[in-house]
Amino acid sequence: MSQTPAAPPADDEIDLGRLFGLLIDHKWWIIGITAVFAIAGIAYALLATPVYRADALVQVEKKAGMSNPLEDVKSILGEEPSADTQVGILRSRMVLGRAVDQENLTLQVTPKRLPIVGNFLVRHGMERPSFAESSVWAGEKINVSQFQVSQAFIGTPFELIVLDKSHYRLTLEGRNLGEGQVGRDKAFLGGAVHLRVAELNAGAGATFTLNKSARLKVTNDLRSRFSVSQQGKDSGLLDLSLSDTDPQRATQVLDAISDVYLTQNIQRQAAEAEKSLEFLEQQTPQVRDQLREAEDELNSYRTKRDSVDLSLETQSILERIVDLEKQLNELSFKESEISRRFTKSHPSYQALLEKKQQLQNERDQLEAKVDDLPETQQQVLRMSRDVKVNQEVYVQMLNKIQEMKIARASTVGNVRILDEAVVQPEPVEPKKPLIVVLATLLGGMLSVGLVLVRGLFNRGVESPEQIEDAGIPVYATVPLSEEQSTLMKRVKRQNDERGHDISTGILAERSPVDTAIESIRGLRTSLHFAMMESGDNLLAITGPSPGIGKSFISINLAAVCAQAGQQVLVVDADMRKGHVHHAFGGKSEGGLSELLAGKAALDEVVRSGSIEGLDYVSRGSAPPNPSELLMQERFTQFLSDIRARYDLVIIDTPPILAVTDAAVIGKQCGTTLMVTRFQMNPVKELEIAIRRFETSGVAVKGAILNAMERKAATSYGYGYYNYAYK
C-alpha cells in the first residue's frame, strides 16, 4: 500500500515544520546577526565609562547623651522620629544642597577627549601622543578654584584652552573672551564671569569645558545617584550609597553628606534644648512669686489664729492634694509644650486633656472632704496646700533649668557615623557579562524574528503539490542550477534602478549533465505527448511576473530538443525587455519588432545558434506599441511561416500580469505553459494569471516549477526529491 503524502497546510495555518526549516535555511544569517550584536555588546561593555559606588554606615540612636527634661512629652505623644523620617531628611534639599555647596558641585570641569574611545584610552593610561591637538589624555588635569558667572550664563558651557604651563584662553561658542594666568583672578565679559585657575597640568592645546549649573539641577542629579536604606526594622542603622564615574569624588561627596546630616542633627538637638530652657526660665519667676504670696498668707493667718495645727487626717488630705496639684502642674508644662505643635483635636492632645481631667476630678473630691472640716482647719489646709504645691513646682523647675543648661552644653545629637565613605574596588556599572549576554540574546531573537516574519509573509510556491491543488498540472520541476549562476550577468537599462539578470550562455550546451537540464529533458518528454493533441508545434512560455526564469526555460528547452535532432526556433516575443539574444551572443536589433513593422524579412531576422538545429529570433528594437504589432496580420503570417519550417517553435512571452502580450500570443499557439518560481510566486498569483488567460480564451496546459531548491523549510513540509545520476 502506497503512503499518501500529507496535504500542505492552508494559507492561514502555521506550519511549525516549515518555520523550523526556515531557521535552518537561514542559520548563517541568524549566526551573523547574533555575532554582530554580541560584538556590539562587547564593544559597549569595554568602552562604556565605569560607574563606582561609595557606601557609608550611619547609626540613629533614640536618645543622645543627657536627655531633655521635656523629652518625656515626646515619648508620651509618640513623637520619636522614625527611620523613614531620617531617610527623608538625608534625601532632602537641605542636606544635599549643603553638600553641593560644600563640594562646589555646581562647577563641572569636563575634559575634551577623543570621541567613543577617548575615555577608554585614558582609563588605560594612554598619555598624550604626538598627533594630539585639543584632546585631553591621561595625567592631564586642571584645578579651578573659582568660577563665578552671572545668572544669564548659568548652564552655559565655556571652553578653557591651555596655552602653556601658566597661561590659558577662555572661549564661548568659538569666540575668544581673553587670556588668563594660573593663580590669578581674571574677569571676563565685563565682570559677568570671574575665573581663577589654581593649577594647570596639561599639554598645550588641551581643552576643558567649564559649566556652572543651577544649584537645584545639581541637587536633583545628586539625589538621583544617592540612596538610603535601613538595614533592619527599628535597627537605627542606615546604609548610604552614592554612584559616580569618579571614585574619589564619590567618596568626598558621600562624606560631605554624612557630615552635613550629623551637623544639622546636633544643631537641631541644641535648638530644642534652647527652646525648652527658654520656656522654663519664663515660668520660674511666676512660680516664685506665687510661692512667696502663699507663704505670706499662711503666716499671716496663723498669727491671727495663734498658730493653728492640723490633725493627722487633715495632714493626709493635704499631702494627697499636694501630690495631685504636682501632677496637674506637670501636665500643664506638657500642655504648654505640645500646644505649639498640635491643635486640641489631635489624639495626643486629647489624651493629655483626658488625663488632666481625671486628676482634677479626684482633686475636687478631696476638696469636698475639706469643706466638711472646721473653718479654721479648712483655711490652714488650703493655705498650706498652696505653699507646698508652689514649693514642689518651684524646686522642680529649678532642677530642670539646671538639667537643661547641662543638656544644652553637652548636646552631641543622636546620629553617629559608624563607617566613613569608601569606594568598592569593582565598578557597579556597566555589568559587562550581563550586557554581552543580553546583546547576544537580543541579536538572536531579532534575527530569528526577522527570518520567521519574512518567511510568514513570503508565501511563494514551495512544492508541485501546491500548484496541483489549485487545479494546474505540473509538467516539470526544475531545480536551481549553481552552474547557471556563473552565466548570469546583471545589466541596467535607462530608468531601471534595480536592473535585471541576463544569461550570457546556454546551460544545456555548457553543462549538459546539470540536474536542471535533466529536468528540462523530462519536460521535453512530457511535451511530446501534450503537443500531439494541440494541432500545431507552437509552444508559448509565459509566467505571472518578471524574473522567474521564462527565458532560461525557453532557451534550454529549445537546446535539449535540438540536441535530440529536432529543428527548433526560439522567438523572443518580449519586445520590451527581452534578452534571449544575450544567451546566443547576438544583438537585439534586427529582430521580431523589425519584422512586424515591415522593416525586415523573415530570413533576415532568423539567426543560427551554436547548437546544430537551433535558431532564434531576437526581440528587435523596442517599439512604442508592441501589443498592437502582435495583433497585426504580419504576426499571424510569421507564425504560419515558421511553423512550416521547424519541428518546434518556442515563443518566450512577457509576464501576463504585467502586459497583455502573452494572451495575444497564446491565442495563436496550440500549447501554453506557465512558469512559476520557487518561493517567489504565490499560488493566488498563479490562479489570477490563469484566469486572465481564460478570459482571453487561452487554455494553459500546465505549469513548470522553476528554481526549486533543497531547503529545510520545504523538506519538513513537502519533501524534495531530485538526484544527480552520472
Residues ≥6 apart with Cβ < 8 Å to 194 = 146, 147, 148, 149, 185, 186, 187, 188
| Ranges for all domains in the chain classified under CATH 3.40.50.300 | 461-717
Query: Tell me, which fold does domain 461-717 have in CATH?
Result: Rossmann fold (3.40.50)
- Region 707-717: mean pLDDT is 64
| Other CB atoms within 10 Å distance of the CB of residue 556 | 28
Q: Is beta strand 52-60 parallel, antiparallel or unpaired with respect to 193-201?
A: unpaired
Query: For the residues 524-548, what does the mean pLDDT come to?
Result: 87
- What mean pLDDT do residues 415-444 have? 91
Q: Convert the pLDDT of each residue in 323-345 to its tens digit.
A: 777 777 777 767 776 776 777 78
Distance CA 18, CA 13 (A): 11
What was the pLDDT predicted at 593? 94
Q: Helices 432-457 & 27-47, crossing angle to 10 degrees?
A: 150
pLDDT exceeds cutoff 70 at 707: yes
As a whole number of angstroms, the distance between CA 26 and CA 129 comes to 46
pLDDT in tens, 354-371: 888 888 777 777 766 666
Do residues 67 and 267 touch, judged by C-beta distance below 8 A? no
Q: What is the pLDDT of residues 671-702, one digit of tens each?
A: 999 999 988 898 899 999 999 999 999 999 99
Of residues 515 and 462, more confidently modeled: 515
Largest pairwise CA distance in the chain: 169
Q: Per-residue pLDDT averaged across 240-249, rounded?
A: 93
Cell 527652646 maps to which residue? 275
What is the pLDDT at residue 398?
Answer: 78
Asked if pLDDT for residue 5 goes beyond 80, the answer is no
Give the model's pLDDT for residue 63. Answer: 58
Give the range among 258-267, 277-286, 474-483 with minimum mean pLDDT. Answer: 277-286
How many whole angstroms separate alpha carbon 323 and alpha carbon 315? 12
The band of 289, judged by pLDDT with boundaries at 50, 70 and 90, is confident
pTM above 0.75, yes or no: no
Instruction: Say if residues 642 and 614 touch (Cβ distance below 8 Å).
Output: no
- Residue 187 φ then ψ, to 5°: -105, 140
Amino acid letter, 658: A
| Number of alpha carbons in the 13 Å side-chain half-sphere of residue 488 | 14
List pLDDT tens digits, range 179-230.
999 999 999 999 999 999 999 999 889 999 999 999 999 999 999 999 999 8
pLDDT bracket for residue 72 (50, 70, 90) = very low
* 65 or 151, higher pLDDT: 151
Cβ-based neighbours of 649, under 8 Å, separated by 6 or more: 537, 538, 539, 568, 569, 571, 639, 642, 643
pLDDT in tens, 651-674: 999 999 989 999 999 999 999 999
Measured CA to CA, the distance from residue 325 to residue 331 in angstroms comes to 10
pLDDT of res. 452 = 84
Average pLDDT along the chain: 83
| Residue 212 DSSP SS3 | strand
